Amino acid sequence: MAIVQSGLSAVARIKDISLGGLRLERFGRWEEASGELSVDIMVKPVGFFLAEMRCEMVWRQGSASGSKAPLRGERQTCGVRFLDAPGQQAKIELLGEFLRSGALESLDPEACRLAI
C-alpha cells in the first residue's frame, strides 16, 4: 500500500516496486500532480514501512494516448520515480536491503490483497 500526498492524499496499491520508483494503482482519478510528491510505502504482511519518500509522477494511464481520465469507479495506474534528494539516499538503501531480502517473494498474493 502507498499513501501519495500532493495536495489531497490518495491511497494506492503498489503493483511494482524497485530502487527507481513505483507503479501504483487506485480506483478513481489521480489528482493533477506536478512537481514533487511525498509517498509513504507500507508492506503490512512483513512490517515494512518507509515514510515520506520524495518522488515525482512520470506517467499516468491514458496520459500518453490523450484519452479521457478514468471515471471515479475505474482503476487508474501511474508511475512515480524516486528523486535524488538530500537525505533520501539512506531510505533508498533501506528499500534496497528490503528488496534483496526476498521478503516480497515469500508473500502470498492473496494475503497481501486481504491486508490492504
- The predicted pLDDT at position 75 comes to 80
State pLDDT tens for residues 33-77: 567 889 999 988 788 999 999 999 888 875 444 445 545 567 888
Q: Which set of grid coordinates corresponds to residue 13? A: 496499491
Q: Which set of grid coordinates corresponds to residue 104? A: 516480497
- The predicted pLDDT at position 63 comes to 41
Count of beta carbons in the 10 Å neighbourhood of residue 30: 20
Angle at 37 between CA 41 and CA 105, to 5 degrees: 25
User: What 3-state DSSP class applies to 29?
Assistant: coil
State pLDDT tens for residues 75-112: 888 899 999 988 899 999 999 998 889 887 776 666 55
Nearest C-alpha neighbor of 53 from the set 25, 18, 103: 18
Measured CA to CA, the distance from residue 16 to residue 32 in angstroms comes to 22
